[in-house]
């Protein structure tokens, strides 16, 4: 693993005239610690900070330890440059002031497709970047730009804060959250995540903010690196790399004690979240949503550091064809080194100490359930992505209850027993809670 950049690396980078694109890319690929960045940023003059915002917004917008208000301005500049490059067919890495041997795989492939007349993805990406640059977003922000906390297309990295406001403070040690915010979620999506899919992830999870009391909650949608596709979703090495970036981002957030953080890991993102917890990420609660596991090498919550043994919750709908068959895989092929690690640890839905939450029934079936009538399979939330994509469900209400904490009540899932576990593994539509029962509630720890 490449050593982190030092304060001296940052100083040499900004001293070069013009700023070295290769040196910039080396810093971004192996960024300094947040503590190093805070110290370096704090020592710069106002004039030097303004120069960097103008000349290398890619650097300023992607370093943990720089105040969020500054990162938002920097990423707004980078987004504008990326949109211009995509629309003109120019080199996007040159427009952003960066270069690497990889040269931005997804962006380059989109430009290559455009040169062959395949414009649909390119036009869709331009539209989505425009929305991030100045669109209305998913909650009322009073006309402010969207809060993009990271944007680096060469690393397929994009991070957004979904909320009404952030702090305008430029003190790198001050909390970035607006007054009144007490609960913030950090959502990590699953495999196949890429720039073209980001809007959908941010949109579907924004329901948590609309369900929470106004002005009290925020949500970070974290897609901070290249996510795997296809069978590579079993790669523990890829999850480990993303987990280190996630933990670095989360642990760099200054908190003054009034804001609680809840991590939400979906599918492969559950494995990333679990691995980040094993590596020391600090949050107050964890929710595994249709999760691939508690993290590679984690057989129980006892395997986590003491600081990571916070309340854990899980949601797993019946008949989940994506993670049902792979839950519990934890393989190490020693002759392959790090790349020989596969699987994402124990199944969160059945791990001791993890509270399994109800995912619920759909639409009109809520009335059937209240009346005590028998339910059919079509009444029940099933599958993998539906836990995120369906609005107004028990699953989403449970998520927002965990997010808000403070004694909010969640509904517990029925225990399907051994038969239920086998059915989940074989993707058989066995649904234990088709038997109508009174909801079992518990206060969030």
Query: Is residue 61 one of the residues assigned to a domain?
Result: no
Measure the CA–CA gap between 84 and 190, rounded to whole angstroms: 29
At residue 362, the pLDDT reads 77
Q: 3-state DSSP call for residue 152?
A: strand
Average pLDDT over residues 18-44: 91
pLDDT class for 104, splitting at 50, 70, 90? very low
Q: Render 29-76 in DSSP notation, one character per residue.
A: HSPPPHHHHHHHHHHS-HHHHHHHHHH-HHHHTT-TTS-HHHHHHHHH
Q: What angle do CA 153, 389, 406 make, to 5 degrees?
A: 95
- Counted residue by residue, the chain has a size of 445
Query: Is residue 428 one of the residues assigned to a domain?
Result: yes
Task: Quote the domain boundaries for residue 268.
Answer: 228-445
Query: Is residue 261 one of the residues assigned to a domain?
Result: yes
pLDDT class for 243, splitting at 50, 70, 90? very high
Query: Is residue 159 one of the residues assigned to a domain?
Result: no
Count: domains in the chain: 1
Secondary structure letter of residue 80 according to DSSP: H
- Residue position matching structure tokens 């296809």: 230
Are residues 315 and 387 in contact, defined by beta-carbon separation less than 8 angstroms? yes
Query: Is residue 1 one of the residues assigned to a domain?
Result: no
pTM over 0.85: yes
Are residues 290 and 349 in contact, defined by beta-carbon separation less than 8 angstroms? no
- Which pairing describes strands 331-332 and 157-162: parallel, antiparallel, or unpaired? unpaired
Q: 3-state DSSP call for residue 412?
A: strand
Burial of residue 52, with CB atoms counted within 10 A of its CB: 0-12 exposed, 13-18 middle, 19 or more buried: buried
pLDDT class for 186, splitting at 50, 70, 90? very high
Q: 3-state DSSP call for residue 130?
A: helix
406-415: pLDDT as tens digits: 889 999 987 7
- Which pairing describes strands 312-315 and 354-357: parallel, antiparallel, or unpaired? parallel
Work out the percent of the chain whose per-residue pLDDT is above 90: 53
Q: Count the Cβ atoms, other than its own, within 10 Å of residue 219.
A: 26
Query: Is residue 53 one of the residues assigned to a domain?
Result: no
Query: Is residue 346 one of the residues assigned to a domain?
Result: yes
Query: Is residue 311 one of the residues assigned to a domain?
Result: yes
How does 229-255 read in b/e, with b if 16+ C-beta sit within 10 Å? eeeebbbbbbbbbbbbbbbbbbbbbbe
Checking if the pLDDT of 419 tops 80, the result is no
CA distances from 167 to 52, 103, 140, 147, 180 (A): 21, 34, 16, 11, 11
Checking if the pLDDT of 44 tops 90, the result is yes
């Amino acid at each position: 693993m490449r050593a982190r950049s030092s304060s001296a690396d940052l100083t040499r980078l900004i001293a070069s005239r013009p700023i070295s694109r290769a040196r910039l890319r080396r810093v971004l690929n192996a960024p300094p610690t947040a503590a190093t960045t805070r110290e370096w940023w704090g020592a710069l003059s106002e004039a030097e900070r303004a120069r960097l915002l103008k000349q290398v917004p890619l650097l300023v917008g992607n370093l943990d330890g720089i105040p969020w208000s500054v990162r938002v301005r920097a990423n707004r500049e980078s987004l504008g440059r990326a949109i211009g490059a995509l629309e003109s067919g120019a080199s996007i890495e040159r427009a952003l002031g960066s270069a690497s041997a990889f040269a931005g795989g997804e962006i380059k492939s989109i430009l290559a497709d455009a040169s062959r007349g395949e414009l649909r993805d390119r036009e869709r990406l331009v539209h989505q970047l425009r929305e991030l640059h100045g669109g209305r977003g998913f909650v009322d922000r009073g006309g402010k730009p969207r809060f993009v906390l990271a944007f680096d297309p060469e690393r397929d990295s994009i991070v957004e804060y979904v909320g009404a406001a952030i702090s305008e403070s430029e003190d790198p040690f001050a909390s970035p959250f607006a007054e009144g915010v007490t609960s913030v979620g950090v959502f990590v999506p699953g495999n196949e995540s890429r720039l073209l899919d980001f809007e959908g992830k941010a949109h579907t999870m924004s329901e948590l903010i609309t369900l929470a009391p106004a002005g009290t909650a925020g949500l970070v949608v974290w897609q901070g690196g290249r996510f795997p596709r296809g069978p590579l979703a079993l790669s523990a090495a890829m999850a480990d790399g993303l987990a280190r970036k996630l933990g670095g981002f989360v642990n760099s957030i200054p908190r003054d004690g009034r804001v609680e953080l809840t991590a939400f890991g979906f599918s492969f993102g559950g494995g990333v979240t679990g691995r980040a917890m094993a590596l020391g990420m600090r949050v107050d609660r964890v929710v595994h949503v249709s999760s691939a596991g508690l993290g590679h090498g984690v057989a129980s919550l006892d395997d986590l550091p003491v600081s990571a043994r916070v309340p854990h919750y899980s949601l797993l709908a019946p008949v989940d064809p994506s993670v049902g068959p792979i839950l519990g895989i934890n393989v190490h092929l020693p002759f392959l080194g790090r790349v020989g690690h596969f699987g994402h640890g124990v199944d969160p839905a059945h791990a001791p100490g993890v509270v399994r939450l109800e995912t619920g029934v759909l639409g009109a079936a809520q009335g059937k359930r209240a009346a005590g009538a028998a339910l059919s399979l079509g009444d029940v939330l099933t599958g993998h992505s539906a836990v995120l994509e369906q609005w107004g469900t028990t699953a989403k209400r449970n998520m927002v209850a965990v997010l808000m904490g403070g004694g909010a009540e969640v509904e517990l899932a029925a225990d399907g027993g051994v038969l239920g576990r086998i059915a989940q593994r074989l993707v058989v539509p066995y649904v234990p809670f088709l038997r109508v029962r009174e909801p079992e509630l518990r206060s969030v720890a």
